[in-house]
Amino acid sequence: MELTRRQSLGLAAAAVAGTTIASTTTAQAGTDRWVRETLRRMSLEQKVGQLFVCYAYGPAADTADPRNTSLYGVATPAEVVRKYHLGGVIYFAWTDSVKDPQQIARLSNGLQSASLADSGIPLQISTDQEYGVVFRVGPPATEFPGAMTLGATRSAQYARLAAGIGGRELKAVGISTDFAPVADVNVNPLNPVIGVRSFSRPRSTSAAGACTCTARTWTTGPTRRSGRSRSMTRRRSWPGTRARTCRSWSATSTPIRPPRSRPGSGPG
């Protein structure tokens, strides 16, 4: 039977699609096998450590800092990762983690080496690069406006473009997770914590913006105080947006903070 050109192209496309699906399935099976084997050989302490993302002081993985000794009982960031088998580390300016691209990349590489030597598991390195009033990595990284400015454009394309550029820049210095954008809805204009960090007050606009790249969500609710304590997401803060955003989440955050005040100031 002689096939038409359209039929031939259709069969070729089907064959390529089938090969792609088979390759994806094989790759996923390999990943699942690695996960099971890795979990099998891990100790209980290592498994618990994978649940935590902590900060450590110092611009390099092997830099001793007395603040680490006071807080963790060891001196260097690399030792903190190894002692507690951490699943992740978060960078802040007040931990001396984000001075310039070269320093950040060296720190990331050093911490990854420490994690791989300890557990064989890559480290989740993160920061709060929300842009606008909250950012950790400064110039020469691209400076974008904050969420409310992007929300005012009513353009999901602009939000996606800004997030894509920012993500590539963070990846270049070894940061794999960006805790942004914040998915709060600005329900209370007197709230000093959220404000312009929200995409908007209208829930529909915030949902449209958050769907593109939400990495985590927590909320201060309708508070009028600028405290550090935060509750988990409340239905009253953003009803109607949950179903539209939950499919795009890659993580949720429950902040656990020591009882004493931490250094630094400002939102985020």
Q: Which two structure tokens, joined as six digits, stand for 48?
A: 């618990």
Last residue of a domain, one of 97, 121, 145: 121
What average pLDDT does the segment 162-188 reach?
A: 83
Tell me: do 56 and 172 sit in the same domain. Answer: no
> Does residue 261 or residue 194 have the better pLDDT?
194
Tell me: do 24 and 67 sit in the same domain. Answer: no
Tell me: do 82 and 27 sit in the same domain. Answer: no
Q: Looking at residue 242, what is its pLDDT?
A: 38
> Does residue 80 or residue 195 have the better pLDDT?
80
In the predicted structure, residue 78 carries a pLDDT above the cut 60: yes
What DSSP state is assigned to residue 2? P
Tell me: do 33 and 54 sit in the same domain. Answer: no
Q: Which of 100-114, 155-169, 249-263 comes out lowest in average pLDDT?
A: 249-263
- Cα–Cα distance between 55 and 258 in angstroms, integer? 12
- Cα–Cα distance between 136 and 123 in angstroms, integer? 19
Tell me: do 133 and 245 sit in the same domain. Answer: yes
Q: Looking at residue 55, what is its pLDDT?
A: 97
Tell me: do 82 and 185 sit in the same domain. Answer: no
Domain-located, residue 140: yes
Domain-located, residue 267: no
Q: Looking at residue 206, what is its pLDDT?
A: 42
What average pLDDT does the segment 136-163 reach?
A: 86
Count up the domains in the chain and report the number: 3
> Does residue 134 or residue 259 have the better pLDDT?
134
Give the pairing of strands 124-127 and 177-178.
Answer: parallel
Domain extent, residue 22, equals 8-41
- Cα–Cα distance between 213 and 181 in angstroms, integer? 7
Tell me: do 179 and 195 sit in the same domain. Answer: yes
What average pLDDT does the segment 35-43 reach?
A: 89
Tell me: do 142 and 237 sit in the same domain. Answer: yes
Judge whether 126 and 175 are in contact, CB under 8 Å: yes
Q: Looking at residue 257, what is its pLDDT?
A: 43
Over the stretch 204-242, which tens digit does the pLDDT of each residue have? 444 443 333 344 434 444 555 544 333 333 333 333 333
The rounded mean pLDDT for the chain is: 74
- Cα–Cα distance between 198 and 209 in angstroms, integer? 10
Q: What 3-state class would DSSP assign to 85?
A: coil
Tell me: do 132 and 72 sit in the same domain. Answer: no
pTM over 0.75: no
Tell me: do 96 and 207 sit in the same domain. Answer: no
Domain-located, residue 264: no
The CATH number that applies at residue 156 is: 3.20.20.300
In the predicted structure, residue 249 carries a pLDDT above the cut 60: no
